Amino acid sequence: MESGDGTALNSQKVEDGVGVPSGGSSVPAFDVIVIGAGFAGLYALKRLRDLGYSVLVCEAGSDVGGVWYWNRYPGARCDVESLQYSYSFSKELEQEWEWSERYASQPEILRYLNHVADRFELRRDIRFQTRVESAIYDESHGGWTLSLNGNQTTKASFCVMASGGLSVPRLPDIPGIDHFAGKIYHTGQWPHEPVDFTGIRVGVIGTGSSGIQVIPKVAAQASKLVVFQRTANFSVPARNAPLSPEVQRAWKAIYHEYRARARQVGTIYEVSEKRTFDVTEEERQREYQRRWDKGGVNVIQSFRDVMVDKSANDVIADFVRARIRATVKDTSTAEALCPVGYPLGAKRICVDTDYFETYNRPNVELVDLKKNPISRVDANGVATTGGYHELDALICATGYDALTGALLNIDIRGRGGMTLRQKWSQGPRNYLGLMTGGFPNMFIVTGPGSPSVLANVVVGIEHHIEWIADCINFLRANGVRTIEATPQAEDRWVEHVNKAANKTLFPLANSWWLGANVPGKPRVFMPYVVKFGHYRRECQQAADNGYEGFALGAN
C-alpha cells in the first residue's frame, strides 16, 4: 500500500511489551523529551529551550509538520481561518508571515511550519525518523527512559506528549482489502509525490472532513469516481478566497485583540447571544442564510442553543438539508447525502469547496452503504450487497484512532509498571487533560479531557505548552522532582468532563470524539466542551494554588 515516507500503513501498530532493547546504544539524558514535531512539539521546543532546558524532540516523520506533514491529499486545507490558525507567541512571526488564502492549504501550512522551524533554529534539537516505542518511568531516578526506533534509549526528567490527536490513521477492516490489485491510499498518510488519477476509476471510502475535501479534487481527474458513504455528513461551504493584503493588514493591526479573544473562547467566531426561538422564522432563516453565504463553521454559532437544544438543532439541520437538496440535481442522490439521525455538529461539521456540487458530475456515483453495505474487496474492485464496482485505485478517508491512539501506541509504563493502556482501559482519565496519576512528569498536549479539537487547536497548544513550561519552572524553583494528578482530582475532572458533555447534544452521534469509530474503544466523550476561557481559568487556578489537584513528590 502507498503511504507517505514509504511506510506500510499497518506498520503503526506497536506490539505490547516493547522494552528497551539489549545491546542498543544510549543517547544523552535531557531535561525534556518532546514527542512529535507538529504545531505542539515545535512550540514546546522553542518555549522550553528559551527557558534554558535541554530538550530533544523525537519525530517519526522525516520533517516537521505533524498532521500537516502527513496529510498531503489533494484538497487538504485547514477549516480554521489562516489568520487564526497560526502561532501568537512571536509578534515578529505573526506580522511577517503572509497568508495567501482565507483558509490555508496543506502546502502553505507546511511552509509556515518549516519557516517557524528555520526562523527559531529548531531543527538542531529534533531527531527525525525517530519513533518513540516505549516510555518507562523509573521510580528510582524519578524520570523516564525512552526507547527510540527499537535500537536506542534516552532518559529525560519530563515527557511532553505532543503526538497529536489525529495522527494514527485507521484503515477499514473490510474482508479482502489486502487483495486489491490497485493502489490503496489513506488521506492521513499520503505519498509525497503527486498522485495522478487522470483517466482511472477511483473509489473513496469515507465522507468526513478528509473525504469531503478529496472527493471534488479526484472527481475532476478520474474517469469514474465511486464514493462509498456510510454516514452522510453535514457540510457547509468554505467560501475560500485569496486573502487581500488590505484584509491582512487590518487584521494584523489589531492582532493582539483577536488573540486575546481567541484565548477566551478558543476561536474567533461571531457567536450569537440569541436563542433559536427568540426570533421569528423569517429572521432565523435570514441568519442561517447570512452565515451560509459567509461560509465556514460559523453557521453552527447562528444561535447559542444549537448544541444544547435538540429542537433548535433540528431547525438548522433542516436548513442545511434544504441546501443539499437545492444543490444536488438527482433527487435520490440528494436524499442519500442528507444527514439524518444525529444532530448537526455532533459529528465534526465539515467545511467544503464544491462537495455537494461534485455529485452533479456525470462521472461521480454515490453508493449508500446504509442501504447496501460493502461485502468484500477483491483484486478488481469493491462489492456491496447492491452491486460490484470495478476500480483502479482506492482512497480510504476513514479517519483516525483519535485523541488516545498515538499515546496508547507507545508502550507507556508508569509507577509500579502500570501501562497507560491498563489505566485507560475504560476510557482516558486525567486532570485538566494535562496529566494522569501514576505517570509522573508526563504532560499531554491537547489530548482527551482538554478542549483540544473543539477549539482552535493552536490556541489550545499554546496554552498547554505555556502551562507546562510554568509548571516545570515551578518544580525546579522549589526543588520538587515529580508532579502527577491526584486520584481525587482526576475522578472529579473525569466526572465533570462527562457531565459537561452530557448537557449538550455532542454525545448523540457515533463520532470519533466518542471513540465510536474504533471497534472496542471505550465510548467516552473525550474533549472538554466548556468554553476555552473557563478551562484556562481552571488550569490557572490549579497553578496559582500551588498545583492543587496534583501530587508533588521527591520521585
Q: Choose one: 55-63, 117-125, 201-209, 520-528; the region binding ligand N01 (CB under 6 A).
A: 201-209
* 9, 45, 48, 166: which one binds ligand N01 (CB under 6 A): 166
Least distance in Å: CB of 109 to ligand N01? 10
Number of residues near ligand N01 (by CB under 6 A): 28
* 398, 404, 430, 436: which one binds ligand N01 (CB under 6 A): 398
Is 451 a residue that touches ligand N01 (CB under 6 A)?
no
Is 419 a residue that touches ligand N01 (CB under 6 A)?
no
Question: Under a CB-based contact definition with an 8 Å cutoff, are residues 100 and 108 in contact?
Answer: yes
Of the CA atoms within 13 Å of residue 418, those in its CB half-sphere come to 13
Least distance in Å: CB of 408 to ligand N01? 17
Is 210 a residue that touches ligand N01 (CB under 6 A)?
yes
* 206, 343, 447, 451: which one binds ligand N01 (CB under 6 A): 206
Is 172 a residue that touches ligand N01 (CB under 6 A)?
yes
| DSSP state string for 225-270 | EEEEESS---EEE----B--HHHHHHHHHTHHHHHHHHHHHSS---
Q: Choose one: 90-98, 359-367, 392-400, 480-488; the region binding ligand N01 (CB under 6 A).
A: 392-400
Is 211 a residue that touches ligand N01 (CB under 6 A)?
yes
Question: Under a CB-based contact definition with an 8 Å cutoff, are residues 349 and 513 in contact?
Answer: no
Q: Write out the E strands in 294-424.
A: 350-352, 364-368, 374-378, 381-384, 387-390, 393-396, 411-413
Q: Choose one: 18-26, 202-210, 409-417, 428-436; the region binding ligand N01 (CB under 6 A).
A: 202-210
* 55, 453, 489, 524: which one binds ligand N01 (CB under 6 A): 453
**Nearest residue to ligand N01, by Cβ distance, number only:** 208
Taking the least distance from each CB to ligand N01, the nearer of 209 and 358 is 209
Q: If you search the block for the grid coordinates 432563516, which residue do you land on? A: 285
What gap in Å lies between CA 159 and CA 53, rounded to an integer? 13
Q: Which amino acid is at 423?
A: K
Which helix (H) or strand (E) is 214 found in, with range?
Answer: helix 209-219
Residues 313-342 contacting ligand N01, CB under 6 A = none
Question: What three-state secondary structure class fits 183?
Answer: strand
* 399, 460, 507, 549: which one binds ligand N01 (CB under 6 A): 399
Q: What are the phi and psi torsion angles at 460 (to 5°)?
A: -60, -40
* 230, 284, 291, 429: which one binds ligand N01 (CB under 6 A): 230
Is 351 a residue that touches ligand N01 (CB under 6 A)?
yes
Q: Which residues of 91-130 are buried (b: 16+ CB within 10 A; e: fewer)?
A: eebbeebebebbbbbbebbbbbbbebbeebebbebbbeeb
* 72, 321, 348, 536: which one binds ligand N01 (CB under 6 A): 348
Residues contacting 287, CB < 8 A, separation 6+: 272, 279, 302, 303
Which helix (H) or strand (E) is 118 found in, with range?
Answer: helix 106-119
Q: Choose one: 45-53, 207-215, 320-328, 529-537; the region binding ligand N01 (CB under 6 A).
A: 207-215
| Window 509-528: contact mask with ligand N01 (x via CB under 6 A) | ---x----x-----------
Q: Which amino acid is at 260?
A: A
Q: Choose one: 42-50, 58-66, 206-214, 281-289; the region binding ligand N01 (CB under 6 A).
A: 206-214
Q: Which amino acid is at 176?
A: G
Q: Which amino acid is at 219?
A: A
Least distance in Å: CB of 255 to ligand N01? 22
Q: Choose one: 76-84, 107-115, 136-144, 319-327; the region binding ligand N01 (CB under 6 A).
A: 76-84
Least distance in Å: CB of 111 to ligand N01? 17
* 360: nearest Cα among 225, 199, 204: 225
Residues contacting 286, CB < 8 A, separation 6+: none
Least distance in Å: CB of 420 to ligand N01? 23
Least distance in Å: CB of 39 to ligand N01? 13
Which helix (H) or strand (E) is 470 found in, with range?
Answer: helix 457-477
Least distance in Å: CB of 148 to ligand N01? 28
Angle between helices 310-327 and 281-294 (to 10 degrees): 60
Residue numbers at the binding site for ligand N01 (CB under 6 A): 77-79, 166, 172, 174, 187, 205-211, 213, 228, 230-231, 348, 351, 369, 397-400, 453, 512, 517
